[in-house]
């Protein structure tokens, strides 16, 4: 493995949920320890299952892994860290500042930014205080801080009181309140991350065009702030040996190889390893020791009882057409698809829009995803369908100028400089995009509006807490007594808005979707349905490896159906990519002929 050649002291694994970060980090820690090194494995992933992987209880204390000499582990609980962090900041001002201000601070501290900063706060000492890690040769981190987090840490602290006085705009800067005392330690930590002799960042991806594009953006974002010592691991590549007599497996293999051939140019310069897709769950030492092996090892732990050539019957579950039937009843409304990157939101949004338009309803399909290529996905104009793409960069610049011209007009030079710094925070983009979305939302009273990539629950709550949109709508009303509906009010109304959470039938994506659902509920938005995308269990396969993975999916699909979703649909993994209006309709119309694997 190239990423294990002459490894430095700190190894960070980063990537989207479900790509295999935790498994690869654990396998790396085992391999280093069994080579004679003393290794500490640290997880800051809120979806971490390091303890389950090793079959031991791991918490916020260093625990030795008895089965592997030289290996210890530590799990930082990001939620607990975030709560302690909030208590430390809000506690001293509760009862001192007006309740409205305290609530505003609490809301600023409620989102993902706070969780990231709090987790970074927890492991900063591991990067900077050598006395804490003197017993270890290597520290392996499952989940690196994002470029977003590091940019936040690099912002100056002088705006803290500035925001509390109401001069700043809604942003995610709140999580940094009260951090001035730790700034020297944070700077040392960021310096350690940027030092290639001490730190190596391993970007983990899958062999999918959309996922590789996202990883390319992560690479550029981290390199731009000095973290240039990066390696790439493409995980879960289907072995060519699995393609015999299985048209679906052959199609997947061909698709993955095409994606790897078109890998973004910025990633081509990185040292790269490819790991074969495994059939088994990566739990236990035997499985983890095989993860970094060759493609020939992929079949080692397949259950002999499941090697017969006859395929199990495809999963019986509601399909996407069932959801479309229910959506279509109202004749109009807002449909938002939400979920983490790489789960297929853009494709499913396009499929829903195409099917609704094909039924004769006017539809506006809108996306703010910079990686979304709707023109390629749709391939042709369709009657009743309007398509728009919101440019996040253009909207952010427009929003910055708007705020500077209004709020910044009466500020002195220092105040304006602080406001400009506030507007450079990473969450400004999400707020700016929501402004653009709010313009599109108004159309949902007369047509269907399908939105790909919606703002998070935290952003919605933050905007609502500031009252920014209520005030803006009120200002725009000609009559002070005129009734108006804000975007937030519309999103909270189940008669007007249906939120669909998109996930994959894998542990981490399901957990992340459940966390997103909790975030939305806190904002008063109840998700309408879940969509489990690209399911092998919903197909017919011959490949022994894919059949075993299909069985592994059943537990996650059951969790969605029985614990998380009020209604759900399962979309099968297809032999042909759903590009073009005809194929998109087959995803959401049960009367259309299915995209059969043997049609390749």
Sign of the dihedral through C-alpha 468, 471, 474, 475: negative
The mean pLDDT of 149-172, rounded to a whole number, is: 51
236 neighbors 222 (Cβ within 8 angstroms): no
In this prediction, residue 534 carries a pLDDT of 93
At 463, the pLDDT band (50, 70, 90 cuts) reads low
In this prediction, residue 187 carries a pLDDT of 79
Confidence check: pLDDT of 470 > 90: no
In this prediction, residue 191 carries a pLDDT of 86
Exposed, middle or buried, 592 (CB in 10 Å: 0-12/13-18/19+)?
A: middle
Confidence check: pLDDT of 256 > 90: yes
In this prediction, residue 355 carries a pLDDT of 94
Of the residues 21, 278, 447, 498, which is catalytic?
21
Of the residues 20, 111, 147, 341, which is catalytic?
20
At 577, the pLDDT band (50, 70, 90 cuts) reads confident
Euclidean distance between the first and the last CA atom of the chain, given in angstroms as a whole number: 34
Query: Is 508 annotated as catalytic?
Result: yes
CB atoms within 10 A of CB 196: 14
Distance between CA atoms of residues 357 and 365, nearest Å: 10
Three-state secondary structure string covering 466-500: HCHHHHHHHHHCCCCCCCCCCHHHHHHCCCCEEEE
The pLDDT tens digits of the residues spanning 342-370 come to 788 888 999 999 999 999 999 999 887 66
At 500, the pLDDT band (50, 70, 90 cuts) reads very high
Paired tokens of 297: 């090892």
CA distances in angstroms from 176 to 64, 89, 117, 120, 455, listed in the order given: 34, 10, 8, 12, 21
Residue positions counted in the chain: 600
512 versus 451: which is more confidently predicted?
451
Query: Is 199 annotated as catalytic?
Result: no
Of the residues 14, 17, 22, 149, which is catalytic?
22
Distance between CA atoms of residues 3 and 140, nearest Å: 12
Look over the chain and give the mean of its residue pLDDT values, rounded to a whole number.
80
Of the residues 72, 508, 539, 581, which is catalytic?
508
In this prediction, residue 172 carries a pLDDT of 53
Q: Which of 458, 529, 465 is nearest to 497 (CA)?
A: 529
Q: Which of 81, 102, 104, 79 is nearest to 91 (CA)?
A: 102
CB atoms within 10 A of CB 53: 26
Paired tokens of 478: 């000609």
Sign of the dihedral through C-alpha 572, 574, 579, 581: negative
Of the residues 16, 17, 23, 422, which is catalytic?
23
232 neighbors 215 (Cβ within 8 angstroms): yes
Query: Is 22 annotated as catalytic?
Result: yes
In this prediction, residue 375 carries a pLDDT of 65
Q: Where are the beta strands (DSSP E) in 339-403?
A: 363-367, 385-389
Q: Does the model's pTM come out above 0.85?
A: no
Distance between CA atoms of residues 73 and 51, nearest Å: 9
DSSP 563: I
The mean pLDDT of 24-35, rounded to a whole number, is: 94
Query: Is 143 annotated as catalytic?
Result: no
* DSSP reduced 3-state for 303: coil
Distance between CA atoms of residues 235 and 233, nearest Å: 6
274 neighbors 2 (Cβ within 8 angstroms): no
In this prediction, residue 162 carries a pLDDT of 47
DSSP 562: I
The mean pLDDT of 417-427, rounded to a whole number, is: 69
In this prediction, residue 51 carries a pLDDT of 73
Distance between CA atoms of residues 36 and 55, nearest Å: 22
Sign of the dihedral through C-alpha 254, 256, 257, 263: positive
Structural domains of the chain ordered from first start: 7-203+279-295 (3.40.50.300), 320-591 (3.40.50.300)
Q: Percent of the chain at pLDDT above 90?
A: 34
Distance between CA atoms of residues 501 and 513, nearest Å: 7
The pLDDT tens digits of the residues spanning 83-138 come to 887 787 788 888 888 887 777 677 667 666 677 677 777 777 788 888 888 899 99
Those residues with Cβ within 8 angstroms of residue 331's Cβ, 6 or more apart along the chain or in another chain: 361
Query: Is 322 annotated as catalytic?
Result: no
243 neighbors 298 (Cβ within 8 angstroms): no
In this prediction, residue 281 carries a pLDDT of 73
- Of 179-183, 274-278, 428-432, the range with the lowest mean pLDDT is 179-183
At 153, the pLDDT band (50, 70, 90 cuts) reads low
Distance between CA atoms of residues 336 and 367, nearest Å: 10
Of the residues 15, 16, 17, 18, which is catalytic?
18
Backbone φ, ψ for residue 206 (5° rounding): -115, 165
Confidence check: pLDDT of 202 > 90: yes
């Amino acid at each position: 493995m190239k990423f294990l050649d002459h490894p430095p002291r700190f190894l960070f694994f980063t990537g989207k949920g479900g790509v295999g970060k935790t498994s690869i980090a654990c396998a790396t820690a085992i391999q280093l320890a069994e080579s004679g090194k003393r290794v500490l494995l640290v997880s800051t992933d809120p979806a971490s299952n390091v303890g389950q992987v090793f079959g031991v209880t791991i918490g916020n204390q260093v625990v030795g892994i008895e089965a592997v000499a030289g290996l210890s582990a530590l799990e930082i609980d990001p939620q607990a860290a975030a709560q302690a962090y909030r208590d430390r900041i809000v506690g001293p001002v509760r009862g001192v500042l007006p309740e409205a201000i305290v609530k505003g601070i609490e809301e600023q501290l409620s989102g993902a930014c706070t969780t990231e900063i709090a987790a970074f706060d927890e492991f900063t000492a591991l990067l900077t205080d050598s006395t804490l890690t003197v017993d270890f040769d290597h520290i392996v981190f499952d989940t690196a801080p994002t470029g977003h987090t590091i940019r936040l840490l690099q912002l100056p602290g002088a705006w803290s009181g500035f925001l509390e006085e109401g001069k700043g705009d809604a942003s995610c800067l709140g999580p940094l309140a009260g951090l001035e005392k730790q700034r020297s330690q944070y700077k040392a930590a960021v310096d350690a991350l940027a030092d290639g002799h001490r730190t190596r960042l391993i970007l983990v991806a899958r062999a999918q065009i959309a996922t590789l594009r996202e990883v390319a953006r992560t690479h550029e974002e981290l390199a731009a702030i000095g973290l240039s010592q990066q390696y790439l691991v493409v995980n879960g590549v289907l072995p060519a040996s699995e393609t015999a007599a299985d048209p679906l497996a052959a199609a997947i293999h061909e698709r993955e190889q095409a994606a790897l051939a078109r890998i973004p140019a910025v990633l081509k310069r990185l040292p790269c390893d490819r790991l074969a897709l495994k059939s088994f769950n990566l739990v236990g030492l035997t499985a983890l020791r095989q993860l970094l092996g060759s493609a020939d090892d992929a079949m080692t732990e397949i259950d002999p009882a499941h090697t017969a050539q006859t395929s199990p019957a495809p999963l019986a579950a509601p399909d996407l057409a069932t959801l479309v039937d229910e959506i279509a009843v109202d004749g109009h409304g807002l449909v938002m698809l939400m979920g983490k990157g790489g789960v297929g939101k853009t494709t499913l949004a396009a499929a829903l829009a195409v099917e609704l338009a094909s039924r004769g309803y006017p539809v506006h399909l809108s996306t703010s995803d910079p990686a979304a290529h709707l023109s390629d996905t749709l391939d042709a104009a369709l009657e009743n369908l309007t398509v728009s793409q919101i440019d996040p960069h253009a909207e952010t610049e427009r929003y910055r100028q708007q705020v500077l011209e209004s709020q910044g007009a009466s500020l002195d030079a220092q105040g304006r400089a602080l406001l400009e710094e506030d507007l450079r925070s990473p969450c400004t983009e999400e707020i700016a995009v929501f402004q653009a979305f709010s313009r599109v939302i108004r159309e949902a009273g007369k047509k269907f509006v399908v939105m790909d990539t919606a703002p998070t629950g935290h952003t919605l709550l933050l905007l609502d807490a500031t009252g920014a949109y209520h005030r803006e709508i009120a200002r725009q009303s000609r009559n002070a007594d005129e009734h108006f509906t804000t975007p937030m009010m519309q999103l909270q109304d189940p008669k007007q808005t249906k939120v669909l959470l998109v996930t994959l039938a894998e542990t981490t994506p399901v957990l992340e979707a459940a966390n997103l659902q909790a975030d939305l509920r806190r904002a008063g938005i109840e998700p309408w349905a879940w969509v489990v995308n690209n399911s092998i269990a919903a197909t017919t396969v011959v490949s022994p490896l894919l059949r075993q993975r299909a069985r592994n999916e059943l537990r996650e699909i059951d969790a969605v159906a029985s614990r998380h979703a009020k209604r759900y649909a399962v979309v099968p993994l297809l032999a042909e990519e759903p590009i073009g209006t005809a194929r998109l309709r087959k995803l959401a119309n049960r009367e259309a002929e299915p995209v059969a694997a043997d049609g390749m």
